[in-house]
Each structure stands twice: as structure tokens, then as C-alpha cells.
């Protein structure tokens, strides 16, 4: 096993491609001997994959403080634990860390490599066993495995972002977004956020009966650089169903431009806090929102059975495809559908050149009642409500970790 030298920075390994430079793993070392500590420091300095947070010079087996008090809180991503000074104490420390900080990966470090010692360390909660002198490749692979798991976890915690855009004004986008949002929150217990991105005259707040607010979505995007959980709360309105909303500007001043990149940066922040984010977009081919549309998991184009709307569906899908948005992310939803309408479903699909993803029945009175009461769930027995329940259930089935893993394990960390 070769030791790492100053001329051997973490370079050669293919695994490095999977490691981010921007978000290093936090590392705490316990009782590492001088030479191994020096090697670890060299590793940390040669590539920003790990950050050395603290070094503990003793095994804390006698005190009853929770492990987080001495390894630090939030818990580090990795604890490097030297087993050579006192194997029994090291094993006890590993057990404590494993039980108090289960998300922390424990790497045993030792100059001995007999199988029974390795098994003993693994049984006490260590996930890696590194043999001295520390080898760069061995350390890099162990770090990559932890990074991959962390990335995977983050991915599972990321919201699905679903955009809704009208084939023309008045097709029912805000109606569908607010109905689906409340259903996902209430009936499917999914943490859901609606972002109304109309530059002016957005109706989502009105349809949800949330008409008193100070800040709006455009201000949120403008403040993306200083966004934290507390600041976000000043933008979020809460509906009684548990649904959150960030409303559109009130339309009392001219529409303001959005800074390029800021929208996606804002959604990257929001994504970590919700299961679903539904975006109410203005109709039309708005290049300002294109970067967000590209970023969304699903783009629902909402149409009605009118020649102009159906023609626009064709234009929109062509435009989005030309802009590099994969066609499988585009879905056409037919709102206000009448089963005995003059234009048949087959004719509609022929005109738009694709299958309809969903059809929502035309029930004006039910929709109007739920909008005017600010409670989308109030008409729960209507045909349209049942239809939307079904759609929400369909959306509520998030891709499983297994499906996501299909994209490749080690690549997870770098995306």
C-alpha cells in the first residue's frame, strides 16, 4: 500500500470527477497519530474535498455527554478514528458516535489489518477501514462513497418542480394550480408551495383567499443572494390546508425584469424545503422564464378546446423543444373538457400532434364557488374535484430513490 506524499496530490483517480470542489465534507479526527494527521492535512490542502473541523486527542469513553457535544453540532460528515492507541476504547467511541450521530460516517484507521480486527471495527459502527500509512486512493474512494450517499439523500429531499403555463390567457392555469396545491397538501400530506410568477395581475393569492401580504415572488428572486430560512418566511403565505404560497406582485407598478440566473438560484433554495413546487406562469413565450422552464421537472401546458389555444400548444411545444427542453417533460392538459364537445379528443390530438396528458371536466359553477370562497377543497363531491383528486394522486407519487438511482451512483455527488 503506497503512502501519500506531497507530490501525490489527489489527482490521478477517476473518482475525483465525482467529487465537488464547492461543498467539502466536514471531518473530525480522533486520536490520529502525527504522521496520519499530517497526511490527512495534506489531502485536505491538495483538493477541497474535505474540511478538517477539529482534532480530538483522547477517546471520550468515560463522560456521559452526548457525542455531539465533543464531535460538534451539526454532526460532521466523517469521523476518522484511530484504533491503534487503545482498540477497546476506540470501539466504544465508534459505538457512541454511531448511536448519537447516525448520519456521521466513521472511518477506522489502523496499522493492523487482520480480518477479525476489521470485523470488530465494522461491528462497532465504522463504515470504512483505512490501513496506515494512509493511501490517497483509499481515502479518496472512501470520501467519494460518503459524498455519493450525501448527494443521494439531498436528491431525495428535493422538491419536484412543476410548471403550469397557459396556451393563452384564461385557460385555467391558476385554477388548476391552486386546486392541485391544496389537494397535495391536505389529501396527500405533501409539503407544497405555489410560486406565482406573473409579473403583474397574478391571481393565485386571490383564489386562495390570501389577499393580505407585503412581499412578492419578484422581490424574493431579487433577494436570492441573502436568502435564508428566516427571510423566506417573510415571503410565504400559509393556507389553512398547509399549502404555502409566494404571491405575484400586486400589479400596482410596472413589471420589473428578473436578473438572469437568480430565478434558478432561488428555486435551488426552495427545492430543499418542499416536496412539490407548483409554478403559476403567465402564458406566452416569455424568455425571462425560459431558464426556469428548462429547470422544471415537468411543464404542463394548459389548453382549452379553442382553435387559437390548440394552435398555440403547437407553437409552444415547438418553441420549447427548439430551446432544448426534452419533449417527455412537456405535457398537454385540456381544461374545461366536454365529452360531447364539437371537437373530438381524437381531432384535438391530431391538431396538437401528441396525446393529451390529462383532461379536466368543464364545471364552471363548482369552480367558481371554490374560487370565490378561497377554498379549493369546498366542492369535493363534484366531478371536477374527483378528477383533480386523481391527478393530485398521480403527481403525489414522487419518483422513488430506486428510480433516481438509475441515473448512476457515483455521479450523484457531482450533479
Judged by the rule CB under 5 A, the positions of this chain that interact with Mg ion are 173-174, 203
271/278 Cα distance (integer angstroms): 11
| Distance of closest approach, residue 167 Cβ to Mg ion, in angstroms | 13
| Distance of closest approach, residue 368 Cβ to ligand ATP, in angstroms | 5
Q: Which residue's CB is nearer to ligand ATP, number 139 or number 301?
A: 301
Residue 212 contact among Mg ion, ligand ATP, none, beta carbon within 5 to 8 Å by kind: none
Distance of CA 139 to the CA centre of its chain: 29
281/291 Cα distance (integer angstroms): 13
Q: Are 237 and 245 in contact (CB under 8 A)?
A: yes
Residue 309 contact among ligand ATP, Mg ion, none, beta carbon within 5 to 8 Å by kind: none
Q: Which residue's CB is nearer to ligand ATP, number 119 or number 368?
A: 368
Place of cell 457512541: 96
Q: Which residue's CB is nearer to ligand ATP, number 178 or number 266?
A: 178
| Distance of closest approach, residue 162 Cβ to Mg ion, in angstroms | 15
CB atoms within 10 A of CB 177: 28
Residue 136 contact among ligand ATP, Mg ion, none, beta carbon within 5 to 8 Å by kind: none
204/177 Cα distance (integer angstroms): 8
Residue 326 contact among Mg ion, ligand ATP, none, beta carbon within 5 to 8 Å by kind: none
The DSSP bridge pattern shows strands 244-246 and 237-238 to be: antiparallel
Q: Which residue's CB is nearer to Mg ion, number 170 or number 326?
A: 170
As given in the structure block, the three cell numbers for residue 78 are: 466523517
Q: Which residue's CB is nearer to Mg ion, number 232 or number 313?
A: 313
Place of cell 393556507: 239
Residues that bind ligand ATP (CB under 6 A): 166, 169-175, 203, 283, 335-336, 360, 362-364, 367-368, 371, 384
| Distance of closest approach, residue 176 Cβ to ligand ATP, in angstroms | 7
Residue 364 contact among ligand ATP, Mg ion, none, beta carbon within 5 to 8 Å by kind: ligand ATP
53/25 Cα distance (integer angstroms): 10
Dihedrals phi, psi of 152, to nearest 5 degrees:
-60, -40
Per DSSP, 361 falls in state: E
Q: Which residue's CB is nearer to Mg ion, number 78 or number 278?
A: 278
| Distance of closest approach, residue 334 Cβ to ligand ATP, in angstroms | 10
If you count them, how many residues does the chain have? 415
| Distance of closest approach, residue 359 Cβ to ligand ATP, in angstroms | 10
| Distance of closest approach, residue 330 Cβ to Mg ion, in angstroms | 20
Could you give the maximum distance between any two Cα atoms of the chain, in Å?
84
279/246 Cα distance (integer angstroms): 10
Residue 336 contact among ligand ATP, Mg ion, none, beta carbon within 5 to 8 Å by kind: ligand ATP
172/303 Cα distance (integer angstroms): 8
334 CB-side CA count, 13 A: 24
Q: Which residue's CB is nearer to ligand ATP, number 140 or number 248?
A: 248
Residue 375 contact among Mg ion, ligand ATP, none, beta carbon within 5 to 8 Å by kind: none
Amino acid at each position: 500500500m503506497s503512502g501519500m506524499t506531497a507530490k501525490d496530490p489527489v489527482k490521478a483517480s477517476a473518482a475525483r470527477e465525482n467529487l465537488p470542489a464547492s461543498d467539502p465534507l466536514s471531518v473530525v479526527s480522533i486520536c490520529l497519530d502525527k504522521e496520519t494527521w499530517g497526511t490527512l492535512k495534506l489531502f485536505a490542502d491538495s483538493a477541497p474535498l474535505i474540511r478538517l473541523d477539529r482534532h480530538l486527542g483522547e477517546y471520550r469513553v468515560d463522560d456521559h455527554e452526548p457525542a455531539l457535544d465533543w464531535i460538534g453540532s451539526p454532526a460532521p460528515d466523517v469521523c476518522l478514528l484511530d484504533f491503534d492507541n487503545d482498540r477497546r476504547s476506540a470501539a466504544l467511541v465508534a459505538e457512541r458516535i454511531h448511536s448519537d450521530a447516525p448520519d456521521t460516517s466513521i472511518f477506522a484507521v489502523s496499522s493492523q489489518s487482520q480480518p477479525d480486527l476489521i470485523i470488530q471495527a465494522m461491528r462497532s459502527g465504522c463504515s470504512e477501514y483505512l490501513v496506515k500509512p494512509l493511501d490517497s486512493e483509499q481515502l479518496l474512494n472512501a470520501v467519494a462513497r460518503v459524498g455519493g450517499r450525501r448527494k443521494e439523500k439531498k436528491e431525495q429531499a428535493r422538491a419536484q418542480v412543476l410548471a403550469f403555463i397557459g396556451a393563452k390567457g384564461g385557460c385555467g392555469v391558476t385554477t388548476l394550480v391552486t386546486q392541485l396545491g391544496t389537494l397535495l397538501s391536505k389529501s396527500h400530506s405533501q409539503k407544497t408551495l405555489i410560486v406565482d410568477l406573473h409579473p403583474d395581475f397574478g391571481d393565485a393569492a386571490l383564489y386562495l383567499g390570501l389577499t393580505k401580504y407585503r412581499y412578492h415572488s419578484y422581490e424574493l428572486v431579487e433577494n436570492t443572494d441573502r436568502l435564508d430560512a428566516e427571510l423566506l418566511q417573510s415571503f410565504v403565505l400559509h393556507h389553512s390546508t398547509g399549502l404555502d404560497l409566494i404571491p405575484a406582485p400586486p400589479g400596482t407598478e410596472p413589471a420589473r425584469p428578473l436578473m438572469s440566473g437568480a430565478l434558478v438560484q432561488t428555486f435551488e433554495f426552495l427545492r430543499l424545503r418542499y416536496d412539490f413546487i407548483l409554478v403559476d406562469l403567465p402564458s406566452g413565450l416569455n424568455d425571462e422564464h425560459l431558464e426556469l422552464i428548462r429547470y422544471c421537472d415537468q411543464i404542463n401546458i394548459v389548453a382549452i378546446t379553442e382553435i387559437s389555444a390548440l394552435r398555440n400548444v403547437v407553437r409552444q411545444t415547438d418553441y420549447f423543444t427548439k430551446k432544448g427542453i426534452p419533449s417527455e417533460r412537456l405535457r398537454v392538459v385540456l381544461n374545461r373538457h366536454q365529452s360531447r364537445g364539437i371537437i373530438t379528443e381524437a381531432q384535438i390530438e391530431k391538431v396538437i400532434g401528441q396525446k393529451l396528458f390529462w383532461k379536466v371536466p368543464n364545471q364552471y359553477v363548482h369552480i367558481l364557488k371554490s374560487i370565490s370562497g378561497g377554498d379549493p377543497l369546498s366542492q369535493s363531491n363534484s366531478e371536477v374535484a374527483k378528477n383533480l383528486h386523481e391527478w393530485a394522486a398521480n403527481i403525489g407519487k414522487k419518483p422513488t430513490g430506486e428510480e433516481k438511482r438509475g441515473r448512476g451512483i457515483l455521479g450523484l455527488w457531482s450533479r
